[in-house]
Structure 1
C-alpha cells in the first residue's frame, strides 16, 4: 500500500467535524497528517472503537438488546480474520495516532463464477468521523487495490442513514441498485407478540425439506421470484442473476440453511421458506437469532393467504428454539412489508446497495 499524507486542521469548528458519532480524543488542537496504511493487530482497540462509535444502528441495538461493545468485538474478530487472508485488502486512515476510517476489499468468488467476471465487495467502509476528508482517500486506495487485482465489478452495502459515505461512492461512479429494510420480531419470552392463528389453505401441507427436492425448489424459485438487486444492475445479465438465485436455493437445501420448510399440494412443492443461522451473533452476543432468508410461493398460489400461513406456521415451529427472527427485504416490496408488519415485525434499520463497473 502506498502511504499518503495531507495536513488537516483538527479545530472543532473546521470542515466536517463529526456531529453524528465520536471517537476518543477528537478534541486535540493543532495540525495533524492524514496517512493511509494497512491496519494491523496493534490497531485492535482503535478499530473496535470505530465500530462501536458507528452512529446509525443505535435503534436496532436497543430494540434487540445488543451490547455495542460485544458487537464491536464481534466485528473486529471478523475483520481480523479477513485481514489475515492474502486475497483481502484493507486501508486505515489516521491523523497522527488517531484512527479516522477503515475500508476493506474482499473477493466475491461465487458471484464471479456465475457472472463470468471478477467481482469483489467493499466491506467495511467506515468514514463517519471525517467523511469528506477521509472518504475519497480511502475509496481511492481501495479502488487502486481493486484495479491491481483485476476486478471488473464492485459492490458495497451501506447503512441508508450514512449519507456521507453514500455520496462519496456516488461521486466516484457507484450507482444505486437497491434499498432494503431490516425487520425483526421477538419469538421467545414474555415480551414476544402473539402469533396470529392462520388456517392452512385448503389442500396444503407443510413439512421439512425431503431428500431430492432441491431441483424442484430451484425451479419454483426461478419461475416465481425476480426481485433481488442483481436484476437491477444493467451491467449484469439477467439470466446469470436468475442462475445465482437458483444455485442459492440449492445451497440452502444442501445445508446452508438451518431450516427449510416446504408447502405441498398433492405432494408437489408449491412454496417454501428458508431460515439461516447466525452463529457469530449467538456465540458473541448470546442471542438466539434466526434469519428469515426467503419465502417463495408459486405464482398460481399467490393471493390466497398462503404467505401469511407459511410465515406464521414456520415461526410457530421455531418459537421455542430462538429469541429473535430478523430479515431483509427490498424497500419497495410493499406486499411483503405489509405482511411482516401484520405478523408483528418492526423495522429496525435500512441499507442501500451500490455497484460500480470497473471495466
Structure 2
C-alpha cells in the first residue's frame, strides 16, 4: 500500500449523518458475501440486515474507523467494548465487530487493524470472529498477531418451513424456580468446558472454566433469558437457556430467538435429556410467536452438534475465532485503571 493511500486513512464517528447515510458504507455491508446463505435461511433480506448492522455502529462503547482511497470509502473497522469480560479478566477487552473492505487484499485490513491499535493505546485484548471464507481478513489477523482459538458453527431452525409436532412438547421440562438457580450454576461449572478461552494459552484453565458459571450468575436469570430445567428426585439434571432477540425481530418483522446454554449432568447423559430440553425450549419459543431459532457452538462440540441436528437445526455458516492479547499480564491489573476508550 502506498504512502498516498495511508495518508487518506481517516478516523470518524460513524454516527455522523453524512457517513451513516453514505451509499459507500451501504455497499460495504451489502457486498459482504459470506453470510448470504445464512440470511436466506433466516428469511432476512440483506437490506433489512443492513439497518440492523448500521445500528451497531453507534454508542459510547463502540470505536470505529474507515479507510478511504482516492476519496472513496473502501474499508471499515469497528471495535465494541466487552464490559462483562473486562470485569471477569480484569482487563480492557474489545471485540472487532466489523472488519470489512471492498474486495481489497490483506494489507488494507492490516493497516486498519494497526491504526485502531495505535488509537486505542490502553486496550489489553481484542477478539474477532470472521467468516471461514474471508481469507484476506484471516490472513490479516494472523499477520497482525492474532491467535486462532477455535471455529464456531452457526445453525438455524425455521419454525415456519418446518413446524413443530407434538414430540416437541415436554411438560417434564419446567421453568427454573428461584430456589433451584444455585443448582444450575453448579451444573454449569461442571459441564461448560466448550468455550474458546479453553484454547487460549494466555488464559488459565480454571479461569476459562469459570466463565459460564459467572456469566449465568450475573446475567442469565433476568428478563432477557428463559430457563427450563429437568428434575430428578429434586435435583437439577439438566438446564437450557434461551432468549428472544427483540431488536432483530423488530427490525425484520419476524420472531428471532437463540438457544444459548445447555448443560446435562454427566451421570444423566445418553438418556435423552439434552434432546428433551432442546425440544421443550423450541416448543416454548413457538408459543411466543418465534419463527426462526439459531444456535452457535464450537465446531469441536460434537455432542451439541449431534443433538441440535437431531431436532431440525441445519448448519448455515462457519466462523473462525481469533484472540490478541496486547499485554498478556493485563489480567493482573484492575479494569478500573482504564477509562472508557473513545477516539479523539
Distance 1:262 1:186 in 2: 24
- Which of residues 257, 269, 273 is equivalent to 2:240? 273
Q: Distance in 2 between matches of 1:238 and 1:167?
A: 28
- The one-character-per-residue Cα deviations of 1:222-241 (angstroms, maximum 9, x if unpaired) are 01221101111111122222
Correspondence for 2:225 among 251, 258, 272: 258
Give the one of 217, 225, 230 matched to 2:197.
230
Q: Does 1:108 align with 2:82?
A: yes
Aligned residue number for residue 153 of structure 2: 181
Q: Could you say what secondary structure the match of 1:155 adopts?
A: strand
Specify the alignment match of 2:320 in structure 1. Answer: 352
Cα distance between partner residues in 2 of 1:199 and 1:91: 48
The total of aligned residue pairs comes to 322
The answer to whether the aligner puts 1:322 opposite 2:290 as a matched pair is yes
Task: Give per-residue Cα distances to partners, 1:98-120, cap 9 Å, x unaligned.
Answer: 21111122322221211122222
- Tell me how far 1:132 sits from its aligned partner: 2.7
Question: Do structure 1's residue 197 and structure 2's residue 167 form an aligned pair?
Answer: yes
The answer to which of 301-310 and 165-174 deviates more is: 301-310
Could you tell me how far apart the structure 2 residues matched to 1:286 and 1:163 are?
Answer: 33
Structure-2 residue corresponding to 1:6: 3
Q: Is the 8 A contact 1:6 1:35 kept in 2?
A: no
Aligned-residue RMSD, C-alpha: 2.2
TM-score (norm 1): 0.83
SS at match of 1:319: helix
State the match for 2:300 in structure 1: 332
Do the aligned partners of residues 5 and 93 (structure 1) sit closer, same or farther apart at CA in structure 2, a change above 3 Å counting? farther
Partner of 1:295: 262
Q: Give the match's secondary structure for 2:215.
A: helix
Q: Structure 1 253/64 Cα, relative in aligned 2: closer, same or farther at 3 Å? A: closer
Q: Secondary structure at the match of 2:179?
A: coil
Quick one: distance in 2 between partners of 1:116 and 1:135?
28
Shift of 1:199: 9.3
Instruction: Report which of the two structures shows the higher radius of gyration computed on alpha carbons.
Output: 1
Deviation at 1:277, TM superposition (A): 1.9
Deviation for aligned residue 1:296: 0.7
1:225/1:132 CA distance change after superposition, 3 Å = closer
Cross-structure match for 2:55: 77
Question: Which string of whole-angstrom CA distances, capped at 9 and with x for unpartnered residues, describes residues 129-177 of structure 1?
Answer: 213342111011111123x1x2222111111111110110101110111
C-alpha separation in 1, matches of 2:4 and 2:169 = 67
Provide the rounded CA distance (Å) in 1 between the counterparts of 2:286 and 2:222.
21
Cα distance change of structure 1 residues 72 and 128 upon mapping to structure 2, 3 Å threshold: same
> For residues 56-81 of structure 1, what are the alpha-carbon distances to aligned partners after superposition, in whole Å with 9 as ceiling and x for unaligned?
111111122111111111111121x2
Following superposition, the deviation at residue 355 of structure 1 comes to: 0.4
Structure 1 outlier segments of 4+, above 3 Å: 4-8, 193-196
User: Which structure ranks higher in relative contact order (CA pairs < 8 Å, sequence separation ≥ 6)?
Assistant: 2
1:342 Cα deviation from its structure 2 partner: 1.9
Relative to structure 1, is the Cα distance of residues 175 and 253 closer, same or farther in structure 2, using a 3 angstrom cutoff?
closer
Q: Which residue of 2 aligns with 1:15?
A: none
CA offsets, 1:204-232, max 9 Å, x none?
93210101322211111001221101111
* 1:255 counterpart SS class: coil
Q: 2-side partners of 1:197 and 1:128: how far apart?
A: 47
Q: Where does structure 1 lack aligned partners over 5 or more consecutive residues?
A: 9-31
Measured after TM superposition, the shift of residue 303 of structure 1 is 1.2
In the alignment, what sits opposite 1:12? none
TM-score normalised over the length of structure 2: 0.87
The partner residue of 2:108 within 134, 137, 154 is 134
Q: Give the 5 Å matches for 1:58-97.
A: 58-79=36-57, 81-82=58-59, 85=60, 87-97=61-71
Shift in Å, 1:343: 1.4
In the alignment, structure 1 residue 283 sits paired with structure 2 residue 259: no
1:128–1:165 CA contact under 8 A, matched in 2: no
Contact 1:36 1:92 in 2 (8 A): yes
Q: Is 1:343 the equivalent of 2:311?
A: yes
